[in-house]
Structure 1
Amino acid sequence: MVWRRVQAERERGRAYQPGFERHQVITAWMGALLAITALGLISTWSHYGLVVAPFGASTVLLFGHPESPLAQPRNIVLGNTLAAVVSVICVALLGNGAWVMGMAVGITIALGQLLRCLHPPAGAVALLGVLLQARPGFILVPVLSGSLLLMALAVLFHRLPGRSTPYPHHWL
């Protein structure tokens, strides 16, 4: 009886947590390595800081679970950009106190849900924007340009010969 309950619990846990085959793990690692390295190199060459911590989280979705609705181009680009806009407005109107951080993240989540562009790393973009006391330039560089580059790299990567995971599933 106890053994059956333990087995049932294990099976239930597998239903909620995705399993990954070895080739998926290797390709996710390779995609993330290439994408973040490319952003870093472009940042170095262009002297524009395109590498921000939330892009590491976006990369997890883009390469680790590209079929997720939260990893689609609309979510990546609009979600991150919306968060940057929210953080810039919050800083301009309210400053950079702890409650402003919470306000920016909360507004980003609410707008992401309402506009159907929810992207979990966007919460980190909003938080980072307040922490950095972001100005309007933050919206274009690093957020919008970095999000577009990251998404373009993911599209190219997932279309390499031998890749079985189509990306994106939808653009809008």
Structure 2
Amino acid sequence: MLVRRLQAQRERGRAFQPRFANDEVLAAWLGGALAISLLGLISAWSHYPLVVAPFGASTVLLFGAPTSPLAQPRNLVLGNTLGAVVSVACVDWFGSAFWVMGLAVGLTIGLGQRLRCLHPPAGAVALLGVLLHARPGFVLSPILSGSLVLVLIAVLFHRLRPTGSAYPHHWL
């Protein structure tokens, strides 16, 4: 009985989990590697080297699931920038106590939902901003500039692929 139930669950899971062709896997790997290499430079130049971590999560969405609503330019750019603004404001007003991390992430989620620019890595941007005691410059560099560069790389990369995959599906 238990074995049959586990087999049935596994089959249902297979039906819902996406399958990727070999060329899609190779393209996602190449696009992600290129994007993070360039964003690593921006992070290092801005003296916020750990910021490449949330950009890594954004890159997974852009190259691994580019049709997701959460991977579209509005969500990525506005979501990440919102997370940066929230973290800078929270650090300025409340410092960087443990509860401020939760406040910043919670506000980023709520505002992202309300403003229709939810982007999961933006929560990591807000958390990291508090941990790094982010100053106002954090919003422009590395977050806004890195997000714009990441979208540009994704648009060019997807359009230059032989299959000509369409990204983005919408801008706003």
Deviation for aligned residue 1:165: 2.5
Tell me the equivalent position of 1:159: 159
Give the distance between the partners of 2:118 and 2:124, measured in 1 at CA. 12
Give the distance between the partners of 2:48 and 2:153, measured in 1 at CA. 14
Tell me the equivalent position of 2:61: 61
Query: Given that residues 31 and 154 in structure 1 are in contact (C-alpha distance below 8 angstroms), is that contact kept between their aligned partners in structure 2?
Result: yes
- The correspondence of residues 1-172 of structure 1 with structure 2, limited to 5 A, is 5-41=5-41, 47-49=45-47, 52=51, 53-172=53-172
Query: Given that residues 42 and 146 in structure 2 are in contact (C-alpha distance below 8 angstroms), is that contact kept between their aligned partners in structure 1?
Result: no
Deviation for aligned residue 1:74: 0.4
Give the distance between the partners of 1:96 and 1:42, measured in 2 at CA. 24
Q: CA deviation digits over 1:90-116, x for unaligned, max 9?
A: 001111011000000000000111111
Give the distance between the partners of 1:122 and 1:43, measured in 2 at CA. 16
Task: Answer with 6-15 or 86-95: which moved more.
Answer: 6-15
Q: TM-score under structure 2 normalisation?
A: 0.90
Give the SS at the match of 2:96.
Answer: coil
Q: 1:15 to 1:112 in 2, by over 3 A?
A: farther
Query: Given that residues 86 and 108 in structure 2 are in contact (C-alpha distance below 8 angstroms), is that contact kept between their aligned partners in structure 1?
Result: yes
- Give the partner amino acid of 1:126: A
Q: 1:124 to 1:55 in 2, by over 3 A?
A: same
Aligned-residue sequence identity (percent) comes to: 69
Unpaired segments of 5 or more residues in structure 1? none
Give the distance between the partners of 1:152 and 1:50, measured in 2 at CA. 21
Give the SS at the match of 2:160.
Answer: coil
Deviation for aligned residue 1:12: 1.3
Give the distance between the partners of 1:30 and 1:13, measured in 2 at CA. 28
- Give the partner amino acid of 1:48: S
Query: Given that residues 108 and 122 in structure 1 are in contact (C-alpha distance below 8 angstroms), is that contact kept between their aligned partners in structure 2?
Result: yes
- Give the partner amino acid of 2:162: G
Aligned pairs, number: 170
Give the distance between the partners of 1:42 and 1:110, measured in 2 at CA. 28
Give the distance between the partners of 1:154 and 1:129, measured in 2 at CA. 25
Give the distance between the partners of 2:68 and 2:143, measured in 1 at CA. 21
Give the distance between the partners of 1:15 and 1:71, measured in 2 at CA. 23
> What's the C-alpha RMSD, in Å, of the aligned pairs?
1.9
